[in-house]
Structure 1
């Protein structure tokens, strides 16, 4: 059964990727003809497309909280590459990703056409990226960052780096914290995290062969950036997201203890 499930999902994935390549090509042609950046259109199309991509993945999405009506700088904990299509189907967002993703076959090109900004670790390009993020915020578009700068197993939230949160302060916009949790049969999902030396291909095959699990996405109250420096803003965002992530771990531990006591 798992083999058949994997084959069917792979066929579905190839069809969605082909659709993405077609859309990206059409957008590129449209921008050449219009002779200007069509970021707003790209974000709307990206949201629609990411919903199609998320539909390939074996997840049921549970959304909590209210979507912001104004442009904000979104920040989220980071568990897997799957965070991007799952968060991207919620609202028109553009993402910030590590520079290596730009070189991924096809996926890097699609990410670039979707409006992703790429950062090279240790390259000292924070000022330039903050300026680009500021331009998008001023134009009414919402970028999303993963301030942990790496993925985790979902047990806890690592330290948030505040250097790219300056764009929210400089442009006087709020920060929208988002907590994402992967759950399987009421416990933390060990398959979803994309960590360590795991390869993209191996992780994808392992994930697509699995039964459907749950993803809980919580939109927390926005944090006003006025009067805060970037590190204070990062600490506040990390704290509220950690509360949600750690809550699930505590509930799971209590349930395990109760099962042990009953046995």
Structure 2
């Protein structure tokens, strides 16, 4: 490992090195293990995950024919098993605002979360009883497309001309009593920071009414619950910037297959889901203000998790899904 070189400064006779951990790693180093057992472990996990996805197609289809809420319970079970296959332990902190049963106040819950990897769907899919929103392209991705489809994902088009129709479709699901979850960043990030939020989808919580619109307002009453997802343990050790970016995060032009194989080489991982107190859309003057407020809350939670500011005894189990 080479010694970090000093940064150039304007001051004379000052050559103290400035330590930057990221400079000690090359961008193409994926911070992975590469022994025979590691490669074998990755292959076994990848094959098991693909087999479980195939079984999930049958399971989800069968649950649609069963009475009750089985078709909503099965995705939670499916993602839970998928995380066990990859040896990802999911820790939750705080209280989730919604469940499979309606809230006492009758409000629907819209979960908004940060997004850095395809793993976010697995992790949140295990703990959020909600329908996810994803861009239309995801439906046609190999493996991931099937996985998101099993989770009852609502696919939307990025075309602005069709965005209004997509919003109405999502609102219709809210009217039926379903909760919704989506990633306002619109795409994955490197994991050490957050991208700007797109406020357009916040229209499902705060629709814009025209001045001359005299039709009754039948929009379902909603609350927004910000959710922070952080991958904070790798084989029992805290995760630094480099491993957060090149072990867990999936961004840019990364291919899914190699990323899955590299991820499968590690023996154990942990993801933490932090539930923040819900906020009410009516407390904000616009969708942009609502979007900015949710982003600030999630960003602060991400920083707190990275800096390990939250106590272990703050962990609370999920609500019983009834």
Provide the TM-score with structure 2 as the length reference: 0.70
Equivalent position of 1:176 in the other structure: 225
Q: Conserved in 1, the CA contact under 8 Å of 2:63 and 2:74?
A: no
SS at match of 1:72: strand
Distance change >3 Å, CA 86–CA 128, structure 1 → 2: same
Q: Is the 8 A contact 1:24 1:110 kept in 2?
A: no
CA distance in 2, matches of 1:131, 1:240: 27
Alignment size in residue pairs: 245
Does residue 68 (structure 1) correspond to residue 97 (structure 2)? The answer is yes
Give the corresponding residue for 1:95.
132
**Within 5 Å, which residues of 2 pair with 1:80-91?**
80-91=117-128
Q: Deviations over 1:118-174 (max 9, x none)?
A: 123234322122212212222221111100011112112221111111111243311
Please point out which of 24, 38, 48 is paired with 1:2.
38
- Give 1:147-162 correspondences, 5 Å limit: 147-162=184-199
Q: What is residue 302 of structure 2 aligned with on the other side? A: 245
The structure whose residues are more often helix, as a share, is: 1
Shift of 1:224: 0.7
- Distance in 2 between the 1:108 and 1:213 partners? 24
Q: Kindly indicate whether the alpha-carbon contact (under 8 Å) linking 2:94 and 2:275 is maintained by their aligned counterparts in 1.
A: yes
Structure 1 match to 2:148: 111
- Assess, with a 3 A threshold, how the Cα gap between structure 1 residues 135 and 41 changes in structure 2: closer, same or farther: farther
Return the offset for 1:251: 5.8
Q: Find the aligned partners of 2:44 and 2:146 in 1 and give their Cα distance.
A: 25
Say which SS state the counterpart of residue 169 (structure 1) adopts: coil
Unaligned runs of 5+ in 2: 1-36, 208-219, 310-322
Unpaired runs of 5+ in structure 1? 253-263
Separation in structure 1 between the aligned mates of residue 227 and residue 274 of structure 2, nearest angstrom: 6
Q: Which residue in the other structure is 1:256 paired with? A: none
Greater Cα radius of gyration, structure 1 or 2: 2
Query: Is residue 22 of structure 1 aligned with residue 46 of structure 2?
Result: no
Partner of 1:78: 115
Q: 2:239 aligns with which of 187, 194, 200?
A: 187
Further displaced range: 173-182 or 17-26: 17-26
**Cα RMSD after superposing both structures:** 2.3
Cα displacement (A) at 1:226: 1.2
